[in-house]
Amino acid sequence: MQISTNEFLLGSLNDMLNQQSNVNTLNREIATGQTLLDASTDPGGAAKTLNTANTISQYNYDLSNAQAAAASLQNGVSALQQVTTLLDSLQQTALQAADTTTTPGNRASLVQTAQGALQQLVQLANIQGPNGGYLFGGTRTDVVPYSVLPNGQVAFNGDAGTNSILIGPSLSVPSSVSGTGVFSDIPAGSNGIALAAATTNTGQAYAVVSGITNVSQLASARLVGT
């Protein structure tokens, strides 16, 4: 078999062009630090890269959701800590008002203190998260959960639901809760005491100092830890 000079030169030229193409590809890979420069050179690798990029994007989205949920829950925890402090202060106010040595003038001042505490409590119940949504409105995060009516009563405008946010594959956490179990509709518990105003109540109230009147009451109180 004989090979003409032209064929030999063409073959050598093709080899040289291929080598030059390989050199150019290696130079680009070294300069960019990437071995996959385009999908045509490695379709399988391109598909894997695309799947990995989508996974990373989803994880970044979940991370953003987790950070937002953590910030919202932290706001809620902070509000509840302030509520605890406020209720402790209000308890002391009630004890002072119930003291028989408290004068009517001081008792009127304590009433104003209690009214101020109520306003603070409503403000805490209406706290918002970093995204502007109300934390204790249930699923109605765009509605102010609690409002004070002209007659002084506090109305709940949310619902009993809970919003959740996805922070990972098949993993979600609540981003809002209902205030019904936190600020209203609180059960009295076993052997507890529940107070409610009569439907005919016009806003007047009074407290009567009382206590244990017999040994059986004392025994019952000790058993329930009250």
pTM of the complete model: 0.59
- Place 53 in a pLDDT band, splitting at 50, 70 and 90: confident
pLDDT single digits (tens) 120-147: 999 999 998 888 888 888 889 899 999 9
Domain 55-185 indexed as CATH 1.20.1330.10: yes
Query: What amino acid is encoded at 109 in this protein?
Result: S
Q: How many CB atoms within 10 Å of residue 137?
A: 26
The phi-psi region of residue 195 (left if phi > 0; otherwise alpha if psi is between -120 and 50; otherwise beta) is: beta
| Paired sense of beta strands 171-174 and 164-168, if any | antiparallel
Q: What is the pLDDT of residue 223?
A: 65
Tokens, residue 168: 């990972």
Mean pLDDT, to the nearest integer, of 27-35? 64
Report which DSSP code applies to 150.
T
Give the helix, strand, coil percentages of the chain, each rounded to 5: 55, 10, 40
Report which DSSP code applies to 128.
B
Give me the residue spans of the domains in the chain: 55-185
- Please return the burial class of 124, using the count of CB atoms within 10 Å of its CB with bins 0-12, 13-18 and 19+: buried
Query: What amino acid is encoded at 17 in this protein?
Result: L
pLDDT single digits (tens) 97-109: 888 888 888 888 8
Q: What is the pLDDT of residue 82?
A: 92
Q: Comparing C-alpha atoms, which of 130, 96, 128 is closest to residue 113?
A: 96
